[in-house]
Chain A
Amino acid sequence: MSGFMSKFMSFSRINGDSKVAPFVVLLLTVTVLASACNLLLPSDSIFYVSTYTITLLGKYLCYAMLALAVDVIWGYCGILSLGHGAFFALGGYAMGMYLMRQIGDRGVYGNPDLPDFMVFLNWSEMPWFWQGMDQFWIAMLMVLLVPGLLAFVFGWLAFRSRVTGVYLSIMTQALTYALLLAFFRNEMGFGGNNGLTDFKDILGFDLQADSTRVSLFIITALLLCGLLILSKKIMQTRFGKVIIAVRDGESRARFIGYKTENYKVWLFVYSAMIAGIAGALYVPQVGIINPGEFSPINSIEMVIWVAVGGRGTLIGAIIGAILVNYAKTKFTAIMPDGWLFALGAMFVLVTLYLPKGLMGLWEQLKEKQQQSKNQSGNDSPNEKAEEGHA
């Protein structure tokens, strides 16, 4: 009975009043303010936001988008993917290939046809998968298609044979590990160890210019808001309801007659595409993509962002990603050795004491407040309705 109660509670939490709208307004306000303070104010003003900060914020927002992707499948469908870094990196590589082709003959070797690393490897022509990547729209299509396709194939194979739980987590980790090994090879044609870097411009705009940086930041913020709203909407549809049903009792959902594996596969593909977009936005802002992005520890770090913020809340994932990465930036600057201790402690403490993350903590505090209000006499109608349900 108590199990049913807790499941019911978590269900109502997700479909409870949404704070998405105010959150989006807040996020966009901060974005506009930061951008304006960078572009319009002189650099000696106290309110001036440096371009470095703008890029840093842009990076955080990319991570936030990635956290959103993880939350969509972990928080709502209970699939713990330890391989989302792979989709992120694949999106990043697709964007990186486009940016690489834009360098043209401005590379170190000045070869008009081939990127520097191919000249270095004595390749005479471009591999087939580099063809067409100089077209922006093809590259953007690849940003969505490559992670989506990989997620589809992997998900189809895994979910169809009902691989679940820790088995699935381990397999996703193996997936990103395999890709890590593969991308380290020079023969793969993605720049090997060094990855892709030394980008010059995007769609004709100089990547080093302040205006380009700010634009990328704004685009990231807008896309993040758009994806947040879209994900929220999806979760409110019939599809989303089935997804939540799968999380809470997959066998039951299957017995009712839903083809749960199909739902899971499509959600996995959607999540992978968000991760791909995040990667594509990350690369021009950071200026490099290398196989290190595939490393399993990156993928597992993403999970902790979501856990800190609170899974199954979407907003929590975004807040968690920004907070943890801000802490990482500060921590690694002050005491580099301490960061791994802090991160490790975060993993342990959050799972032990904060299973619903910061968002859950917020809810708990509010509930307590309400309870003390109730005890003082006047019952709230909301509370009454819930009691009636139970």
Chain B
Amino acid sequence: MNYFIKICSCLLALLISSSALAELPSAAQQPLLQELTTVKLSKTLPVLQQLEASEGADMLPLFKTLLGGNLYFVREDGRLLGKYKAQGATLYADLFTGEKLVDLTKKQVKKIKVNNRLRGYLGEAIARIQLNNSDSDVRAEAVRSLFSDLDANTIELIRTARLDEQSRSVQDVMDVALALYRADNSDDATERLQAVKDLQGSLEPPVRNQLTKLAENDPSRSVRKAAQKGLDKIAKQAEMYSFVNQLFFGLSLGSVLLLAAIGLAITFGVMGVINMAHGEMIMLGAYTTYVVQLLLPEMIEYSLWIAVPAAFIVSGLVGILIERLVIRHLHGRPLETLLATFGISLILQQLVRTVFSPLNRQVATPDWMSGSIEINPLLSLTLNRLYIVAFALLVFMILLIVLKKTSLGLNVRAVSQNRDMAKAMGIRTDRVDAMTFGLGSGIAGIAGVALSQLTNVGPNLGQAYIIDSFMVVVFGGVGNLWGTLVAAFTLGIANKFIEPVTGAVLASILVLVFIILFIQKRPKGLFPQKGRAAE
């Protein structure tokens, strides 16, 4: 019961907040709305028509509710209600204010009936209202929603709207609708042929269905041929867009790999040690995002801007701590370092399990990152992946500048090229080691923030990416950031292109086998460090 009330109050809050901006019915509309509750079914149509023509509140919710057969009114005062089903219970809400009416019984309300004649009218009216919407996306969507049941009336509607339409993209969609109708219904073969030609270049799914139908069944040979030609063209385009799509997914995976591997590459390049706890630095970054959102629940929109520096600091400090406490003492023993850092990774994983529970945590995605850019019906790019690609490149650029233009970068490069000589020149290699480790770990933390937007955050998050990151480092070679960049994107894209052919598991196996074979030819990776120091 308690649970139920909670849900109701949540829903109530939701409805009120969502309708807070909606206008209330105007003085002209009020009597019409009242009339609607008393008028006979056969006389409803003129009332609706008057309502559609009236100025004031948006009639779209009313028409939609009526079309769905969910329009009710309170017997006492004639207030119009929408019926909703939530959690198996029936609820009523005021159509215009959105106010939830919890304690209404079935006897206190009455349904406003609807018949097929009204339904036909309502369908068109809804499309008409939407076609007059000020947002061109809504207009285009309205036309698309009509694609499936085009008849003489709707076509007339679209044709009228087409005359006043200003937006080019909406015009195109309307033309497709008109051509679709002609291709389906015209008795004249030449007109059908023209319609098929007009349809070419459109990638809407109904166009494809219509062309398939024509290519198979049309009595005229030339129409069949033209339809087939259109289909071939669509297939070709679909192929191209699926290629672009795969490329995009590959780039997105590649950028994640880049973020995960680049810190590893730096530490490996400078200190010659593999940090097996690198994956856990990623995990810490992801959990930092989670904690930031937990602490600032009302600032989800900005949480990532806070999480990126926070994760950098958290992971970076943990990295410096590890370097000072453990790795420093294992200098010159890379295999032992590998084992010790693996131990640290186990401890960190278990620590997170103890503190945050072994279950996965959901990190919220800010609104500006969710959704996707729809380029055409066959190709849409999800925004979070797009941002992560850009973010990875940004981090890469910043790192490149740090390494090339700052004194820290100069020291780091000197130590990675020849540690003894750098030391002889007065570089405090000890400090450089700690800073490098902190920098590498901090970038891993940033990678964790990015990953938290793609997957769930759990104690094993780092483990999933660590072997792939190692592969990137091995493939790209050490001591060259560009090598890591090329390797990350190559592996990411290769993975996504092999995947549809062989399945995800076999794809990663093939990539691993490829790398094992690759280092036969180039044991030092794609871009090996040259010179005597690179032994």
Contact = CB atoms under 8 A, between A and B. Distances in A.
Contact of A178 (B339, B350, B508, B517): B508
B467 A296 contact: yes
Nearest to A157: B520
A383 to B, nearest CB: 28
Contact of B335 (A163, A169, A184): A169
B342 A178 contact: no
Contact of B326 (A167, A170, A185, A348): A348
B354 interface: yes
Contact of B470 (A170, A175, A182): A170
Contact of B508 (A154, A181, A337): A181
B171 to A, nearest CB: 51
B335 A165 contact: yes
Contact of B505 (A157, A166, A184, A343): A184
A167 B506 CA distance: 23
B467 A352 contact: no
B336 A351 contact: yes
A182 B512 CA distance: 12
B523 A300 contact: no
Contacts of B515: 174
Contact of B339 (A157, A296, A304): A304
A128 to B, nearest CB: 19
Interface string B481-524: 00000000000000000000000011011001101110111010
A114 to B, nearest CB: 24
A125 to B, nearest CB: 23
A170 B265 CA distance: 14
B516 A340 contact: no
A174 to B, nearest CB: 5
A352 B512 contact: no
Interface string B270-288: 0011100000000000000
Specify which of B338, B347, B513 lies most central, judged by the most chain A CB atoms within 10 Å of its CB: B338
Contact of B334 (A154, A161, A166, A178): A166
B347 A303 contact: no
Is the contact region of chain A dominated by helix, strand, or loop, or is it mixed? Answer: helix
B453 interface: no
B329 interface: yes
A345 interface: yes
Interface string A297-318: 0001001100100000000000
B284 to A, nearest CB: 15
Contact of B509 (A165, A169, A170, A182): A182
Most buried by B among A169, A300, A348: A348
A177 B505 contact: no
Given A182-B509, A348-B343, A174 B516 contact: yes
B343 A345 contact: yes
Interface string B337-374: 11110111111011101100000000000000000000
Given A157-B517, A166-B334, A166-B338, A348 B467 contact: no
B356 to A, nearest CB: 13
B412 interface: no
Contact of B343 (A80, A184, A343, A355): A343
Contacts of A340: 346-347, 349-350
Contacts of B519: 161, 163, 167, 171
B474 interface: yes
Given A170-B470, A340-B347, A177 B340 contact: no
A252 interface: no
Interface string A341-378: 10111111011100100000000000000000000000
A357 to B, nearest CB: 12
A307 B330 CA distance: 15
A259 interface: no
Interface residues of A, number: 42
B512 A300 contact: no
A173 interface: yes
A170 B468 CA distance: 11
Given A157-B520, A171-B519, A184-B505, A344 B329 contact: no
Interface in A162-199: 162-163, 165-167, 169-171, 173-175, 177-178, 181-182, 184-185
A337 B354 contact: yes
A165 B353 CA distance: 32
B512 A178 contact: yes
B467 A161 contact: no
B523 A177 contact: no
Interface string A212-238: 000000000000000000000000000
B474 A337 contact: no
B471 interface: yes
Contacts of B345: 344
A331 to B, nearest CB: 12
A174 B339 contact: no
Contact of B474 (A154, A167, A346, A347): A167
B502 to A, nearest CB: 11
Nearest to A80: B335
A175 B344 contact: no
Contacts of B342: 300, 347
Nearest to B329: A352
Nearest to B336: A351
Interface in A69-100: 78, 80
Interface in B241-281: 268, 272-274
A337 B471 contact: no
Contacts of B274: 166, 169-170
A296 B462 CA distance: 14
Contacts of B467: 173-174, 177, 296
Contacts of A170: 274, 470, 474
Nearest to B512: A178
A163 B523 contact: yes
B330 A185 contact: no
Given A344-B345, A347-B339, A352-B340, 10 more contacts: A157-B520, A178-B512, A181-B508, A181-B509, A337-B350, A341-B350, A341-B351, A344-B344, A351-B336, A351-B343
26 contacts: A80-B338, A154-B516, A160-B520, A161-B520, A163-B523, A166-B268, A167-B474, A167-B519, A167-B523, A175-B516, A178-B508, A178-B509, A181-B509, A182-B505, A182-B506, A184-B505, A185-B505, A185-B506, A307-B339, A337-B354, A343-B343, A346-B343, A348-B326, A351-B339, A351-B340, A352-B326
Listed from nearest, the 4 A-B pairs whose CB atoms lie closest are: A347-B343, A344-B346, A344-B347, A340-B350
Interface of A: 78, 80, 154, 157-158, 160-163, 165-167, 169-171, 173-175, 177-178, 181-182, 184-185, 296, 300, 303-304, 307, 337, 340-341, 343-348, 350-352, 355
